[in-house]
């Protein structure tokens, strides 16, 4: 069985690369096969011009329960090095997601725990089903958050809320995640896939290069002062203004019609 389903549904959702975590019996926990599938999906998203948006979701009742905890033999006395898995899999994945010059939409269909929660937060726009939840489960097994959790959470929710979530491992409902600004929107369970597809389709028909540069500017802002950010905005505006989608956008506005962006 494929542990990650990847499809570019040209007819149904043009430009959208749908990526579905597919180990429902394990709540889509990460194992090497899932990581390989995600790396391949990222490779397609990076390489294929037809891909103009990525939509990530999970099969079954969970989104992702984080690292598969059955993968390691805890009875062995040999010292355990968890850094290797982060170097090999999680850290490159998060960096690639953030660097991808195309939007990534996440539809969190159920519980997102540990690295699964932070994998969702590494996406650019996160929607969640009302019954979904987010758990910084690491502390419950004597670990620290990884997969970018200590970077994303304080920035999204503030240090106090991030600290309490990480130190207690308390479950955060999708509604509270929305209220706290950790995710974009919480929607009814039955509406999630539709809403996520609508958003992904909108983004996939948008000015892809603009979207990529918006992403770059937003993420750069966390490490920049105002002057540096203003300079970056100038540079990006200069770059994007030379492209066809800007001309098309302004022309469509003046001609009172819908723009046909090519993503160029
Ligand atoms: C699982 C898992 C799972 C395997 C549910 N693994 N089977 C860590 C270490 C190394 C290096 C890199 O980084 C990391 C990062 C991390 O992600 S650490 C955090 C790992 N994740 C967790 O600690 C979460 C563990 N899971 C849970 O606490 C619960 O399953 C949650 C709260 C997610 C869901 O609870 P329920 O809805 O009650 O479902 P369940 O517990 O009954 O799970 C359903 C099945 O999925 C069950 O299998 P079974 O054969 O008994 O039906 C679970 O064993 C399996 N499962 N999570 N991480």
Q: Taking the complete model, does pTM exceed 0.85, yes or no?
A: yes
Q: What is the pLDDT of residues 21-57, one digit of tens each?
A: 999 999 999 999 999 999 999 999 999 999 999 999 9
Phi, psi of 178 (to 5 degrees): -70, -45
Domain limits, the chain: 4-204, 208-255
> How far is ligand 1, taken at its centre, from the CA of residue 252, in Å?
50
User: Which pLDDT belongs to residue 114?
Assistant: 98
Other CB atoms within a 10 A radius of the CB of residue 137 amount to 22
> How far is ligand 1, taken at its centre, from the CA of residue 212, in Å?
34
The residue whose CA has the least distance to atom 6 of ligand 1 is 68
> How far is ligand 1, taken at its centre, from the CA of residue 177, in Å?
20
Q: What is the arithmetic mean of pLDDT over 156-166?
A: 98
Residue 216: is its pLDDT beyond 90? Answer: yes
> How far is ligand 1, taken at its centre, from the CA of residue 137, in Å?
9
DSSP 157-194: H-HHHHHHHHHH--EEEHHHHHHTTSSSEEE-GGGHHH
CATH number at 4-204? 3.90.226.10
Ligand 1 neighbour 139 (Cβ under 6 A):
no
Ligand 1 neighbour 119 (Cβ under 6 A):
no
Nearest atom (ligand 1) to Cα of 116 = 17
Ligand 1 neighbour 143 (Cβ under 6 A):
yes
Ligand 1 neighbour 113 (Cβ under 6 A):
yes
For 182-200, letters b (16+ CB in 10 Å) and e give: bbbebbeeeebbebbbebb
Residue 264: is its pLDDT beyond 80? Answer: no
Cα maximum dimension of the chain: 72
User: Which pLDDT belongs to residue 230?
Assistant: 98
């Amino acid at each position: 069985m494929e542990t990650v389903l990847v499809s570019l549904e040209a007819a149904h959702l043009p430009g959208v690369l749908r990526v579905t975590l597919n180990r429902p019996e394990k709540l889509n926990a990460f194992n090497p096969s899932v990581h390989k599938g995600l790396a391949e999906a990222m490779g397609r998203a990076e390489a294929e011009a037809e891909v103009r948006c990525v939509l990530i979701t999970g099969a079954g009742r969970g989104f992702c329960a984080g690292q598969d905890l059955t993968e390691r033999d805890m009875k062995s006395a040999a010292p355990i090095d968890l850094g290797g898995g982060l170097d090999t899999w999680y850290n490159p994945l998060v960096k690639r997601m953030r660097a991808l010059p195309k939007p990534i939409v996440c539809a969190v269909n159920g519980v997102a725990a540990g690295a699964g929660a932070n994998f969702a937060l590494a996406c650019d726009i996160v929607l969640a089903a009302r019954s979904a939840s987010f758990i910084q489960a690491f502390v419950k097994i004597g670990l620290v958050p990884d997969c970018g959790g200590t970077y994303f959470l304080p920035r999204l929710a503030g240090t106090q809320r991030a600290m309490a979530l990480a130190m207690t491992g308390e479950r955060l409902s999708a509604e509270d995640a929305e209220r706290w600004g950790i995710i974009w929107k919480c929607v009814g369970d039955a509406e999630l896939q539709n809403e996520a597809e609508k958003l992904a389709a909108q983004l996939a028909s948008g000015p892809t290069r603009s979207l990529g540069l918006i992403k770059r500017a937003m993420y750069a802002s966390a490490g920049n002062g105002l002057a540096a950010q203003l300079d970056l905005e100038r540079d990006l505006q200069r770059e994007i203004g030379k492209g066809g989608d800007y001309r098309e956008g302004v022309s469509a506005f003046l001609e009172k019609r819908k723009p046909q962006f090519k993503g160029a």
